[in-house]
Amino acid sequence: MQTDRIVAAGKLNPLIPHPAEMILALVFFAILVLLVKKFIVPAFEQAFAERTAAIEGGLAAAETKQAEADAKLAELEKQLADARHEAARIREEAREQGAAIVAEMREQAQAESARILEHGRTQIEAERQQAVTSLRAEVGALATGLAGRIVGESLDDEVRQSRVVERFLADLESGQAPSGVN
Amino acid sequence: MSAIAMTAIPTEGFTPPGPGDFNLPPIGHSEGTAPTFEFLGQTMYWGVTKPMVQLALSVVLIFTFFYLASRHRAMVPGKLQYVGETAYGFVRNGLARDTIGSHDFMRFVPYLVALFFFILVNNYFGLIPGIQFPTFSRAGMAYALAALSWVVYNYVGMRKHGVGGYLKLQTVPSGVRGVVLLLLVPLEFFSNILVRPVTLALRLFANMFAGHMLLILFALGGEYLLLHTTGLTPVAGVLSFVMFMGVSVLEMLVMALQAYVFVLLTSMYIAGALADEH
């Protein structure tokens, strides 16, 4: 039996193919190619494409964000500069306004004081006039009384009295001695 | 007594492995009972053999692995998807794109990916315990794949350049004129059209066949020396097992390398067939 097998093996040429094996290899390989083509390649390619898109999209998004942030920063800086400028302008204006107000106030106070002064002066003048008038009346009465007593003549009659006083005063003003007294 | 009888028959009792060890009888049959038929002067078994089952098993394994790996399509891949993507990307980018060029390669990716892993897994069946038979040590299997590669690269070349243009591209070297062409054109035709599929098939088949033969020899020889001889020769049996392990490691390399070379050459032939006139 062993010799049979050796003889059989000697006759066997491994290079001559088994037809069924050739066909089966082709069939199974074709099945594998179809399966790979239908399920595996699309799945992997889709995963690769999605990953590429995600990475590229992420990079683009980051760039956009960066640009936005830069723009916002520039805008904020500009706003800050504007605000500083505005503040300086307002301060300057306030200073000017304050100076103007102080000057106006001073002017008003001066006017007021002048007015009060004028008012006082007028009042004093009026009071003086009043004093002069009342003094004149009192002085007249005193002088009349005094003269009546001196001359013993009743000068109670009012008309006469005032006439005498007038004359007396006129005499006084003219610097002459009252004629009635002589 | 039996021990004495065994020592009495020295080396004559050892049957060296031969091509017959690759001609497995169909599953469920022994050598004697299997039905046979004649093909090209050879007596062949008729029935489902182990390498045929291995072909189907490899398709199931490869598809299952890649299907599970590619199913989730996650943006950030898990372990399985990462391994799948790396394996797929190795053939897609490292073989197909780099050889064929980014313009045309995509339509060959399914074919080349399937080819690479089909050969790789079937080769590694030669080392997997319990299977231990490289499918492509059966010449017919290697012939089939090589023939398919031959059809593919000639077909795409003819579709792109037309039959005449393609034959001119493959057989007329650029910059050669005159009488030398009479010598070169048949030579180029022979090498580019006729020899390519033969070398492609034989390289794969012969590597798997010889590698497996070597492993059988060291395994059976070691066993025989260890169990059926006396004196110092069992030591040689141990050495034989050590050699078996060494050759197994070498075979791991050869199996991957043959799959790589087969696919690399196929994609180079496709690239050559698609090349523009130089």
pLDDT tens, position by position, B255-277: 999 999 999 999 999 999 998 76
CB B35 within 8 A of CB B49: no
Is the CB of B144 less than 8 angstroms away from the CB of A23? Answer: yes
Across the interface, which of B58, B71, B139 has its CB nearest the CB of A17?
B139
The pLDDT tens digits of the residues spanning B80-119 come to: 888 988 999 999 999 999 999 888 898 999 999 999 999 9
CA distance A7 to chain B (A): 10
User: What is d(CA B95, CA A44) in angstroms, rounded to the nearest whole number?
Assistant: 16
CB contact A29 to B (< 8 Å)? yes
How many domains does chain B contain in total? 1
The residue of chain B nearest to residue A26, with distances taken between CA atoms, is B144
CB contact A28 to B (< 8 Å)? yes
Lowest mean pLDDT among A29-33, A136-140, B136-140: A136-140
| pLDDT surpasses 60 at B11 | no
User: What is d(CA B8, CA B102) in angstroms, rounded to the nearest whole number?
Assistant: 69
- Looking at residue A153, its pLDDT comes to 56
Is the CB of A32 less than 8 angstroms away from the CB of B59? Answer: yes
Range of the domain at A108: 2-174
| Whole-structure pTM value | 0.71
- Looking at residue A5, its pLDDT comes to 46
The pLDDT tens digits of the residues spanning B147-204 come to: 999 999 999 999 999 999 898 888 888 887 788 888 888 898 998 899 999 999 999 9
CB contact A51 to B (< 8 Å)? yes
CA distance B234 to chain A (A): 24
Closest CA relative to residue B65, chosen from A25, A39, A47, A34: A39
Range of the domain at B10: 2-274
* Residue A179 counted as domain residue: no
State ipTM. Answer: 0.87
Across the interface, which of A8, A25, A32 has its CB nearest the CB of B144?
A25
- Looking at residue B4, its pLDDT comes to 41
In which band, very low, low, confident or very high, does the pLDDT at A156 lie, cut at 50, 70 and 90?
low
CA distance A68 to chain B (A): 27
Is the CB of B148 less than 8 angstroms away from the CB of A17? Answer: no
The residue of chain B nearest to residue A7, with distances taken between CA atoms, is B20
How many domains does chain A contain in total? 1
In which band, very low, low, confident or very high, does the pLDDT at B23 lie, cut at 50, 70 and 90?
confident
% of residues, chain A, pLDDT over 90: 47
- Looking at residue A62, its pLDDT comes to 92
CA distance B67 to chain A (A): 6
Cβ contacts (< 8 Å) between A18 and chain B: which residues?
39, 44, 138, 140
CA distance A53 to chain B (A): 10
Is the CB of A46 less than 8 angstroms away from the CB of B73? Answer: yes
The residue of chain B nearest to residue A13, with distances taken between CA atoms, is B19
Beta partners for residue A14, in sequence order: none
